[in-house]
Structure 1
Amino acid sequence: MAFGIFLSRIAGLIRESLLRSTLALGPAADAFAAALRIPNLLQNLLGEGSLSASFIPVYSKLLGEGRKEEARKAAGATLGLLSAISGLLVLIGVLAARPIAAILAPGFDNSRYELTVDLLRITFIGIGALVLSAWCLGVLNSHRKFFLSYVAPVFWNIAQIVVLVFVFTRSWNTFDAATAVAWGLVAGGVLQFSIQMIAVWKIAPDLRPTMNRSLPHVIEIRRRFLPAVAGRGVVQISAYVDLFLASLLSTGAVATLLSAQVLYLLPISLFVMSVAASELPEMSRSGQLSDLTSRSNDAMRKSMFFVLFTAVIYIGAGEQIVDALFGWGSFSSDDSLTVWAVLSAYSLGLPAVAASRLLQTSCWSLGDTKGPAKIAGIRVVVASLVGLSLMFPLDLLAFAEGGITTKDTQGPHLGAVGLALGSAVASWVEVFLLSRRTKRSLPKLSSLKGLLFKIGVPASLAFLLAALLKFLIGSLPALLMAPLIIGISGLFYTLVAFRSGIEESHLILRPIRKILYRR
């Protein structure tokens, strides 16, 4: 599974790199970022997160108990209901693109607004297929078929990469390029769903969509689904509040946020989502509190080992990483510095986001979907208040020729950093509340504070080494410097962790030993 996620994220980085080189952080980039974010509401509300909390636990438990016919009926009814709901919302989105754009991005000027409307009508079509692909993921994961469900997004990215390469070689203007990529998104969504659906038919050939809402297990899925949707809805409100606020900032703020989020979400996908997705079906099958506690603690230790290192590297060497990925074509060095500043702010909350995702999984396996939803609501309020208080003062600042200036410049300003800081603060509030709630059912859950302190020592030393390496080899090209800093600092971090008795260091050292032993 982790390898499948890794491939999809690498493809996503290539797509984002080509997108930034084509659109940079200009008006078309803002419009595309907004148009991509808005229909994602469907995917996130009705897709993987909500199905993980509702459908997968019920379906996995039925399979584990050998009740395959009941599992088939529950899956078919879920597909039918999901298809009807997503189809209706896609239709509404296409028809109401203009008022949706006006409400969610009121700060856009006329050209950005009109392009956003056009792109919305296109991207809404593709998101419908992505929602259904999330149902496929739930079925495949429950049958322990993890690789295909997580490698399928590669095809979504490839479709857009092909379009971007074509556009880049033809030197199209940015508005036409954004429109072409939007159609690539639609093609990629259909391709991703089709590939997964073929796999579903192979393992469950009798599965058919129905509209049977009266089955007991369907009622249970719906009972869990609505609070999960509410929880995801709260998270999406936070994302749209960020979009709303970013549209009020200088041109490029929306695209800057999206660019930073591509890197920010990478460790969550690789080291947290893979663990959470594989553990959720097993937790749901088990039902034993001691087993749930053991699995939760093990997942937290593994995830934090990788996520904390990623956070310190993003802060210490994020400029070189951003420059290596995006710093070509129309993307300037000041653009790289701006994205790095936002990424660093996000990274302050990265460990909390990772821990929250794992604690949510534990709650879902216990049948608790309302608690995480309420806590997510608190997170939204905190993020909005902190972000709003910081974004306008920071938007007076900008990078110009490598330094910070208060003068009006053409490039993006630092207002987006305020929104990222609000998200980081809110993430720590969320994980504190989730930890308290989860420990009521799992009192022997390990302390996150103790875990962070233990791993924090080698992580801090790795940060200092990364800063030193940046000073020593700063004259090298970013494409060479970034992997050198990550590789050397990562090896140092692993060795210090090993000497400190952190067992998770063997996740890195064991494969290295095998390679050396074979030689």
Structure 2
Amino acid sequence: MAEAGRRHAVLVGAGILCSRIFGLVRQRVFSHYFGLSDIADVFSSALRVPNFLQNLFGEGVLSASFIPVYARLLAQERQEDAGKLAGAIAAILAVGISIIVAIGVVATPWLLWIIAPGYTGDKRELTILIVRILFPGTGILVWSAWCLGILNSHHKFFLSYAAPVVWNLSMIATLLVFRNLPQERLIVYLAWGTVLGCLLQFLVQLPSVLKLVPHMPLRLDWRNAHVQQVGGSFMSVAVGRGVVQISAFVDQAISTLLGSGAMAAITTAASVNMLPVSLFGMAISASELPTLSRMVGEGLDGDTKDKLSARLNDGLERIAFFIIPSAMAFLALGNVIVAALYQSGQFTSHDSRYVWAILAGSGIGLLASTSGRLYASTYYAMRDTRTPLRFALVRLAVTAALGLASALLLPGWLGVDPKWGAAGLTASAGVAGWIEFHLLRSKMNRLLKPTGVSMGIMVRLWVAACVAAVLACAVEYVTPAYGPIPTAIYVLGVYGVIYFAVTWMLRIKECEELLGKLLRRAGVR
């Protein structure tokens, strides 16, 4: 079963990797034409507003509430009941999201006073226009998340996570086709290209869903016991996700007060930060949720607890093996990474250093946020949606308090430009993430038995990452500069090779297994 889980995680990771690569290309093209300008701020902020809808009702919430119930019906070979559940949820989403999108379009000017208080005049008016265009598209993305829930439950992982490729391609094509337009007009065309991408992302998944669930009546069946079970979990998880989104909006509101380019810089850093989170945290958590749900079944006896604990620990070790070197790279080599990805056109070397500082701040909580996702998935599999909600509220309070102090007060105390408060903003969010992770783990340890990565493994992983970072920085210092991309290839190449070499010498299981598979596929072993 563990081997199957690893294969599923690889499929999820492969799909996410395809999506993220095109996402990085999209962000590079965007940065080339807009840099860290006011127009870049407008689109970065506007895209986050309707994304609240997709994050609140989309992938994370549907996965946590719908998949456990749907997967159990499949495990019990009750395909007809599973089809009725899928159809009912689709009908409910159609009605609910349509109403919310309509309200959102009308209420956009009032929403902007809350989430972008620093925008005034033409910048504010352009943001309102872009938000209104984007709202219907992100409503469609909720349907895409419904497709993902069904595909994942049937262990069809790759398509649902690779589908955002067409979303990115639509935006890239829009930027390239209309690149000669003035920035104010180009950003409007980009918004419409984004909406088209949302529709395409849904449509590429729909045929596979209809093939897997051919009998799926679209009825608002509120009396269905399974629908009620999903609804009960849905509300708890939605509130929990809402808390996380409110936390993100607090950060966004603060960033609009830090000057021109701060919001765009945070969004650019997030595109890099989300790569390891998606590839390793989301991939493992998403692939494990259906299996964990089937393991729990209808009860949680001693044997099931042991299996859950073992599977959770295995997933945490896999996450740590990849996330620790990612966090160290953000801290020590973030300038190399950002310059290689985005330094072009309007995006200057000064912008690269600024985004590096923000990226380094986000690296502080990288391991906590990714590991916390797997703990949350385990709670959802156990049909406990309230525990993650309570701890998300704690995280919100800490993020708001630390974020305000770090972003608005700390730069003045240090005598630096207020815009550097953006780095304090991401660092404070990381601290809050560690607090949430500790609470999630402590409660889980009381429910099962001690979980987590052993101290010995953690020390060896951090030692390997530190050694690799020191040597990679030395290589960067002594080697002549040949441009951002060649520099990144040899510096990050050295970093990766040394990390794998040191973890292999330290007998890290994940490294030995990964290298063993690569050698066998190459015909060496």
Please report the TM-score for the alignment, with normalisation by the length of structure 2: 0.93
Alignment of 1:356-435 (within 5 A): 356-393=372-409, 395=411, 406=416, 413-435=419-441
Corresponding position of 1:152:
163
In structure 2, distance between residues paired with 1:450 and 1:236 = 35
AA aligned to 2:260 is T
Q: Distance in 1 between matches of 2:456 and 2:429?
A: 23
1:94 aligns with 2:110: no
Q: Which residue of 1 aligns with 2:336?
A: 320
Give the match for residue 229 of structure 1: 238
Are 1:262 and 2:274 an aligned pair? no
Is the 2:379–2:385 Cα contact (8 Å) retained in structure 1?
A: yes
Aligned to 2:29: 18
* 8 A contact 1:317–1:470 mirrored in 2: no
Alpha-carbon contact 1:494-1:505 (below 8 Å) kept: yes
- Which position in structure 2 is the counterpart of 1:243? 252
Equivalent position amino acid for 1:115 in 2: L
How much does 1:3 deviate? 1.1
RMSD: 1.8
1:400 maps to none
1:320-351: CA deviation from partner (whole Å, max 9, x where unpaired):
11011110010111111000000000001101
Counterpart residue type for residue 44 of structure 2: A
3-state SS of 1:445 partner:
coil
Which one of 294, 298, 314 corresponds to residue 314 of structure 2? 298
Corresponding residue for 2:222? 213
Secondary structure class of the residue paired with 1:39: helix
Runs of 4+ in 1 over 2 A off after TM superposition: 392-397, 404-407, 446-454, 514-519
1:54 is matched with which residue: 61, 65, 79?
A: 65
Indicate the SS of the match to 1:318.
helix
Partner residue, 1:115: 126
Structure 1 residues 203-249: Cα deviation after superposition (integer angstroms, max 9, x where no partner): 11112322101111111111111110010000000010011111111
For 1:374 and 1:253, locate their aligned partners in 2 and report how far apart those are by CA, in whole Å.
31
Q: 1:88 Cα shift?
A: 0.8
> For residue 95 of structure 1, what is the amino acid of its counterpart?
V
Query: Could you tell me how far 1:261 is from its partner in structure 2?
Result: 0.6
Work out whether residues 159 and 205 of structure 2, in 8 Å CA contact, stay in contact via their aligned partners in 1: yes
Q: Identify if the C-alpha distance between structure 1 residues 451 and 376 changes in structure 2 by more than 3 Å, giving closer, same or farther.
A: farther
Q: 1:354 to 1:216 in 2, by over 3 A?
A: same
Q: Is residue 284 of structure 2 the alignment partner of residue 278 of structure 1?
A: no
Rounded Cα–Cα distance in structure 2 between residues aligned with 1:450 and 1:428 = 20
2: distance between equivalents of 1:180 and 1:33? 15
1-structure distance, mates of 2:174, 2:524: 43
**Which of these residues, 478, 486, 509, is aligned with residue 484 of structure 2?**
478
2:19 aligned counterpart, secondary structure: helix
How far is the alpha carbon of 1:406 from its aligned partner?
A: 4.8
Aligned partners of 1:396 and 1:415 also within 8 Å? no
Cα pair distance change 1:395/1:29, threshold 3 Å:
farther
Instruction: Tell me which amino acid in the other structure corresponds to 2:165.
Output: V
* CA-CA distance at 1:431 after TM superposition: 0.6
TM-score (norm 1): 0.95
Equivalent residue in structure 2 for 1:137, among 137, 148, 154: 148
Cα contact 1:322–1:336 (8 A) shared by 2:
yes
Contact 2:313 2:453 in 1 (8 A): no
Conserved 8 A contact 1:388-1:418: no
Contact 2:31/2:342 (<8 A) preserved: yes
Q: Deviations over 1:90-131 (max 9, x none)?
A: 111112221112221111121210110000011101101101
CA offsets 1:287-325 (integer angstroms, 9 cap, x no match): 122221121111111111001111111111111110111
Aligned match of 1:490: 496
Partner of 1:165: 176
In structure 2, distance between residues paired with 1:10 and 1:228: 29
Quick one: which amino acid aligns to residue 507 of structure 2? G
Q: What's the counterpart of residue 6 of structure 2?
A: none
Counterpart residue identity of residue 290, structure 2: P
Aligned residues: 507
Pick which of 32-41 and 281-290 moved more. Answer: 281-290
Distance 2:524 2:469 in 1: 32
Cα distance change on mapping 1:406 and 1:353 into 2, 3 Å: closer
Aligned mates of 1:258, 1:208 — CA distance in 2: 40
- In structure 1, the partner of 2:442 is 436
Query: The residue matched to 1:66 in structure 2 has which SS?
Result: coil
User: Which of 456, 462, 466 pairs up with 1:460?
Assistant: 466
> 1:124, 1:507 → 2: CA distance?
45
How much identity, in percent, do the aligned residues show? 38
Q: 2: CA distance between counterparts of 1:506 and 1:36?
A: 42
Give how far 1:173 is off. Answer: 2.1
User: Does the 8 Å contact 1:249/1:395 carry over to 2?
Assistant: no
Tell me if structure 2 keeps the 8 A contact 1:396–1:413. Answer: no
Please say if 1:504 is aligned against 2:510.
Answer: yes
1:394 Cα offset (Å): 5.2
Equivalent-residue separation in structure 1 for 2:326 and 2:519 (angstroms)? 23
SS in 2 for 1:96: helix
Letter in 2 for 1:36: L
What CA distance in whole angstroms lies between the structure 1 residues aligned with 2:415 and 2:439?
39
Q: What is the identity, as a one-letter code, of the residue corresponding to 1:224? A: S
C-alpha deviations, 1:67-103, integer Å up to 9, x for none? 1111111111111111211111111111222111222
Letter in 2 for 1:175: E
Which residue of the partner structure matches residue 401 of structure 1?
none
Question: 482-491 or 25-34, which moves further after superposition?
Answer: 482-491
